[in-house]
Amino acid sequence: MTVKRSDAGIKLGFVVAEFNRDLTYMMEIEAEEHAKFLGAKVTERLYVPGAYDMPLAIKKMLKESDVDAVVTIGCVIEGSTQHDEIVVQHAARKIIDLSLEFEKPVTLGISGPGMTRMEATERIEYGKRAVESAVKLVQRLELA
């Protein structure tokens, strides 16, 4: 499969969760700075209430936008129930499904489940890692 890309560089879409926004904001800033460092550009951005809400926004972005890859940015902190595990498992499964359906990378920049707020703060770089994965995968699919 060949991913078609313009001469302007790799175009990324960001889907960002607003839940735990103090953390996802920092993740988003690091992710955008890393995209610039790698020569990629964030051309689309959608904000959603939380990680569980990402799949519909990702699908809309993949259908209607000219992006080479979508980067997800979210943070799911452990609560008193197993809600965090359910949220991340289902979001991750649908994110994978959408990547396969649209044949474009959709990377997982969601930290959690099973982490405290302190651990979440230590994992701010997950957004940066998701950008790195998106850029590498677009480049490698072009060569395949």
Beta bridge partner(s), residue 70: 13, 106
Contacts of 1 (CB under 8 A, 6+ apart): 103, 141, 144
Buried b (16+ CB within 10 A) or exposed e, 113-124: bebeeeebeebb
Domain coordinates in residue numbering, the chain = 11-143
Strand partners, 75: 111
Q: Is 34 a catalytic residue?
A: no
144: confidence class by pLDDT, cuts 50, 70, 90: confident
Q: Which of 21, 36, 83, 140 is catalytic?
A: 83
pLDDT digits (tens, 9 = 90+) for 96-114: 999 999 999 999 999 999 9
What number does CATH give the domain 11-143? 3.40.50.960
d(CA 144, CA 137) in angstroms, rounded, equals 10
- Predicted pLDDT of residue 8: 63
15 alpha-carbon distance from chain centroid: 6
Bridge-based pairing of strands 41-48 and 11-17 is: parallel
What pTM, to 2 d.p., does this model score?
0.92
Residue 2: pLDDT band with limits 50, 70, 90: very low
Q: Copy the structure tokens of residue 58.
A: 């990702």
Given this model, what pLDDT does residue 1 score? 39
